[in-house]
Structure 1
Amino acid sequence: MKNLLTKALAIAIIGLSSSCSEEFLDNSGVAGESQPTASFTSAQVEQAALTNTDIPAASVNGIYAQMIQTGSGGTDLNHDDFGQKGYDIYGDMLCGDMALSVSTYGWYRADITEFQAPLDFTRGRNRMVWRYYYRIVRSANNVIESLGGNDAVPELDANKYSMGQAKALRAHSYFYLTQYFQKEYVANEAILPLYTEPLSENLPKSSAEEVYNLMESDLTDAISLLDGFNRTAKNQVDQNVARMILAYVLGAKGDRWQDVADLTQDVINTTSHTMLPNTDVTNGFADVNNNSWMWGIDLTENNGLDLVSWWGQVDAWSYSYAWAGDYKVIDSDLYAAIPNNDVRKAQFFNNPSNGRHLQPLFKFFASDQIGGASQTVTADYVYMRVEEAFLLNAEANARIPNEAAARTSLKALLDLRVPSSAYVDALTGQALRDEIYLQTRIELWGEGKSYLAMKRNQATTVRGGNHLSFVGEPIPYNDERMQFEIPQDEIQNNPFLSNQNQ
């Protein structure tokens, strides 16, 4: 996998420079701009098959490389611009479960924790989110086009698998765009331009219904196309990862809970992944080979990541801002809600007299030394764990309602976290749904899933006392401050959007 990703990064590389201060954005280009992952003609694909050259697979690997690429949000180089895991941090902070308790260098403070970007479409963080996900969309469109287009079913298994991965990745990016740019699902609300081909011209917004229909179609196709696919590395989307992405999409839509329950149950029934035992919840979450990880990436020195990375922002055991003075910690109220006999409470440093109070020192750690001995990141990135299938299955069943099934899935997780899960048997209705939501926030803290759960549960967040701003203020999931704005340069360069009131 190291060689594959090194080659993919060579294909997808974006020029970058290093700086410890925030930079102005490069405002060239819009969503439809040319992308670093190559596009191939049908003739080239056929010739590749004859010569045993897997061009489509190499192009898909280029998309995976973009997911960890610094500068992929269009900056040169903001230290919060490093692909998917960067926007996981945005979500965790917007919803308040990740608090910025000490701010020395200023990253995330104004635009994210003080909500300046969601309230001002001229702020650069709006563009970073927009540009990153549309880059992935464009690259996926290139692969899909090279394999015959949206309606094609390739004959060769290798090409089927490439098509399936590309469609899943396109849907994954549109999913995050819907989450970050629409307050909640309203079918007829025009929300996003919907690019399904590698076109350069601008398009008007499509309705939420149209975007969700494409995501569902892409993921249904992906599940079919990936049947029989035995991936060579966990950074690749397989059939169960595609099922989980579809479950998240339908869960966000909010009216297909039986389908969400069925999809997640299929994952539970067919997966070879197992949930973390209680002895491993403080294992560092740094190794893609952990069997609970369904989707993640093995980072090596060849990937060239350093301070500008998820580890460089969150992990105090790395050469990082979390070591040097920008502390990311669990919200104090959420921490207080973890029972003392829950093994996950030990993931967080508990010493109120110490400035590192409630840092995740024992959930995430990339070395045995605060500050790290090396500036090169080799700890891995997690995108999805099998625990998510059990939690989302519990949530869906509680909403159907099939509360017995919901309790079964929730207790399967809790039996690995607390001495007794028997208390769940007495929970019904809203109390059961609230407990599932709480357990989702606890189990997946810092992994980029809390924001999605907040929106599915239509929750009102209240920041604990260890935040630097808006402490104690109720902020509902559909507040203006919880979503980004279509960025200024997209509006200026897309005539269909220029008259929109953002």
Structure 2
Amino acid sequence: MKNKILNKMKRKIYLVVLTMSLLFPYSCSDDYLEAVPTDAISDGAAYANVDNVALVLNGLHRQMYVSALQGGGTPNGESYFMPALDFIAGEVIHTGPGFNWMKGEARWLSHTNANSTISFDFWFQRYHFVNISSAIINNIASSNFTPTPKLNDILGQAHAYRAWAYYRLVTTFAKGYLIGNPSTDPGVPLILNQGAPLEGAPRATVAEVYEQIEEDIDGAIEYLKKASAPENKSHISLNTAYGIKARIALSKGDWSTAASSAALARQGFPLFNEEQWHAGFNSVDLPEAMWASRIIDTESNFFASYFYYISFMFNGGECRGNNKIINIDLYNSIPSTDHRTKAWLPNAPNTNSAAYNGQGGSAAADPNYDDEATFQAAKAAIIAEFGATSRHNTHPYMNVKFKQSRPGTNNPDDVIYMRSAEMYLIEAEAKAMLNDITGAQNVLEAFAITRDPAFDKTAFTTQASLMEQIKFQRRVELWGEGFAYHDKIRWDEGIDQTTSGASLVIYGDAFIQDKPSTNDSWVFKIPQQEIDSNPFLTESNQNP
């Protein structure tokens, strides 16, 4: 009886998210969808014509950043997931209590718990994308729509979204492709139908899931080659599809495909100059932004927004009382000629009396300052320069990489999901792994010279030295953008916060974690709701 009830609950969840995808399109001008109550819209009406299908697809664009997928107020868009993955990997470090957002993630108490919010949200948000993408693909397949550039665009994006969703699922809820046995390791259920009843499916192998992912992203690229130009950067363009393909290939060690796809993806998206790099990463209009959501005031998720979790000057209690810092060792390894040193403030005064390191609140407690006047003046200068409020605390090595366009408020800013800088780094890594030393040097130089005019590619003449430099560049360049968790799995690297600036008292077991190949705790637990409601899964199918 319990399973039947939970199965009904699961079906209800999927029906609700389908409704929400129709509720929140970017354009609500369609007369029919405005005139008919949302709960009365049938699949037949939603997929009756190409324009209506485009509105369903627009719902997915919005779901990339919304804060409440099922209407319950829980944070579960990329605005939450991207910083959460960097907290889990230990690259973005908490310094004070704030409102305790993401402390569970940082302490490894969330993704290791089958009943946690993040495991539930990560799982069901991705399957929401799978469900709606499949509905679009399958309904178009059974229709008599005339092939047009617009229809190709819809199909291309739907296949790309499904590939992206399964890629995100299999790389968090299963062992890494490069460190496991993909032909036998349990992956995630492959469900390619849509709508109720959703009876679930058994866990496919990691290799089988990757086969579906690659089929979808290759199909997406072929459709998008024949598609109309994307309306804005929230849509998945041909460049973005190549970028997704590059990420997929990198995660499984298909180095040749990763390199070629990344090179294609970055075309037309020039690297930032110094001024652009320090503009705040807050606008879709920045030249490196390949895939991003433009967030308007009426669609803001305010205290579940990306900048609430990661920015210094956002006016929320989490930001005012919990500066996010870079790993001290990493920062100190950045050359003085690299302009990215300005993205963190190593000498900021520790003004938080509740700081985890016990050195906050006054010049007497802060070893970097000898007198209170200098201490307070340093804080005032930072507040004035970056537009925070007087209630905001500061902390050594605090991040000012992410700036609000309207600092000191809780107004929304755009969220960037993919930048061309990442594509340069993927191409460089893939070529290094192919032992193409010259090719990797040249790509790395083309990127790094824009960050550090003194960069010298001839210092890196072996695969090992190139890989160490590429890892360094990814950690600095992509800090706070959600890549560290999957990078550590791909590189099979553990966590050691001993000299990072993190507090052992706060981080607990997460302070030191063994590398992923020997540590099953890196893998997210499957949500307990899925175990209970999917008739093909039992506790024996749960991740260890």
TM-score by length of 1: 0.85
Give the counterpart of 1:144 among 137, 140, 165: 137
**Where in structure 2 are the equivalents of 1:59-458 lying within 5 Å?**
59-72=56-69, 74=70, 76-78=72-74, 81-109=75-103, 111-148=104-141, 155-185=147-177, 186-199=182-195, 200-227=198-225, 228-254=227-253, 256-268=254-266, 271-351=267-347, 353-354=349-350, 355-361=394-400, 363-367=401-405, 369=407, 372=408, 374-377=409-412, 379-458=413-492
Q: Give the Å deviation of 1:40.
A: 7.4
Q: Give the Å deviation of 1:44.
A: 7.1
8 Å CA contact 1:122–1:488 kept in 2: the answer is yes
Q: Counterparts of 1:221 and 1:58 in 2: how far apart (Å)?
A: 21
Q: Give the Å deviation of 1:48.
A: 2.8
Go from structure 1 to structure 2 and tell me whether the alpha carbon gap of 1:30 and 1:451 turns closer, same or farther (over 3 Å shift).
Answer: farther
Q: Counterparts of 1:414 and 1:348 in 2: how far apart (Å)?
A: 18
8 Å CA contact 1:118–1:480 kept in 2: the answer is no
Partner SS state of residue 233, structure 2: coil
Q: Counterparts of 1:490 and 1:422 in 2: how far apart (Å)?
A: 51
Q: Give the Å deviation of 1:259.
A: 1.2
Go from structure 1 to structure 2 and tell me whether the alpha carbon gap of 1:75 and 1:330 turns closer, same or farther (over 3 Å shift).
Answer: farther
Go from structure 1 to structure 2 and tell me whether the alpha carbon gap of 1:231 and 1:239 turns closer, same or farther (over 3 Å shift).
Answer: same
Partner SS state of residue 131, structure 2: helix
1:410-451 per-residue CA deviation (whole Å, 9 max, x = no partner) reads 111111111222254443121111111110111111111222
Residue 342 of structure 1 aligns to which amino acid in structure 2? D
Q: Counterparts of 2:332 and 2:12 in 1: how far apart (Å)?
A: 43
Structure 2, unmatched stretches of 5+, are: 1-7, 23-40, 351-393
8 Å CA contact 2:217–2:245 kept in 1: the answer is yes
Q: Give the Å deviation of 1:71.
A: 1.3
Percent of matched pairs sharing the same residue:
24
Residue 538 of structure 2 corresponds to which residue in structure 1?
498
Residue 151 of structure 2 aligns to which amino acid in structure 1? N
Residue 116 of structure 2 aligns to which amino acid in structure 1? R
Go from structure 1 to structure 2 and tell me whether the alpha carbon gap of 1:28 and 1:319 turns closer, same or farther (over 3 Å shift).
Answer: farther
Partner SS state of residue 247, structure 1: helix
Q: Counterparts of 2:261 and 2:100 in 1: how far apart (Å)?
A: 41
Counterpart check, 1:486 vs 2:479 = no
Go from structure 1 to structure 2 and tell me whether the alpha carbon gap of 1:59 and 1:101 turns closer, same or farther (over 3 Å shift).
Answer: same
1:217-249 per-residue CA deviation (whole Å, 9 max, x = no partner) reads 110011110014311110000111101101111
8 Å CA contact 1:281–1:343 kept in 2: the answer is no
Partner SS state of residue 236, structure 2: coil
Partner SS state of residue 291, structure 1: coil
Give the counterpart of 2:53 among 28, 52, 56: 56
Structure 1, unmatched stretches of 5+, are: 1-26
Q: Counterparts of 2:185 and 2:441 in 1: how far apart (Å)?
A: 35
Residue 321 of structure 2 aligns to which amino acid in structure 1? G
Query: Which deviates further from its counterpart, 139-148 or 111-120?
Result: 111-120
Q: Counterparts of 1:44 and 1:77 in 2: how far apart (Å)?
A: 26
Q: Counterparts of 2:516 and 2:273 in 1: how far apart (Å)?
A: 32
Q: Counterparts of 1:242 and 1:321 in 2: how far apart (Å)?
A: 37
8 Å CA contact 2:325–2:398 kept in 1: the answer is yes
- Residue-pair matches, total: 458
Q: Counterparts of 1:48 and 1:428 in 2: how far apart (Å)?
A: 56
Query: Which deviates further from its counterpart, 209-218 or 99-108?
Result: 99-108
1:108-150 per-residue CA deviation (whole Å, 9 max, x = no partner) reads 11x2111112333233321121111111111111211221169
Partner SS state of residue 200, structure 2: coil
| Structure of larger gyration radius | 2
8 Å CA contact 2:57–2:154 kept in 1: the answer is yes
1:440-477 per-residue CA deviation (whole Å, 9 max, x = no partner) reads 11111111122222222222332243223258625313
User: 1 or 2, which has the higher helix percentage?
Assistant: 2
Q: Counterparts of 2:258 and 2:423 in 1: how far apart (Å)?
A: 10
Q: Counterparts of 1:105 and 1:43 in 2: how far apart (Å)?
A: 44
Go from structure 1 to structure 2 and tell me whether the alpha carbon gap of 1:188 and 1:340 turns closer, same or farther (over 3 Å shift).
Answer: same
8 Å CA contact 1:295–1:382 kept in 2: the answer is yes
Q: Counterparts of 2:532 and 2:328 in 1: how far apart (Å)?
A: 42
Go from structure 1 to structure 2 and tell me whether the alpha carbon gap of 1:423 and 1:265 turns closer, same or farther (over 3 Å shift).
Answer: closer
Structure 1 vs Structure 2 CA RMSD: 2.4
Residue 367 of structure 2 corresponds to which residue in structure 1?
none
Q: Give the Å deviation of 1:342.
A: 0.9
Partner SS state of residue 383, structure 1: strand
Q: Give the Å deviation of 1:500.
A: 2.1
Q: Counterparts of 1:280 and 1:44 in 2: how far apart (Å)?
A: 41
Q: Counterparts of 1:107 and 1:405 in 2: how far apart (Å)?
A: 42
TM-score by length of 2: 0.79
Go from structure 1 to structure 2 and tell me whether the alpha carbon gap of 1:411 and 1:447 turns closer, same or farther (over 3 Å shift).
Answer: same
Q: Counterparts of 1:168 and 1:277 in 2: how far apart (Å)?
A: 30
Q: Counterparts of 1:154 and 1:163 in 2: how far apart (Å)?
A: 13
Residue 8 of structure 1 corresponds to which residue in structure 2?
none
Q: Give the Å deviation of 1:205.
A: 0.9
8 Å CA contact 2:432–2:466 kept in 1: the answer is yes
1:377-417 per-residue CA deviation (whole Å, 9 max, x = no partner) reads 1x110000011111000000001121111111111111111
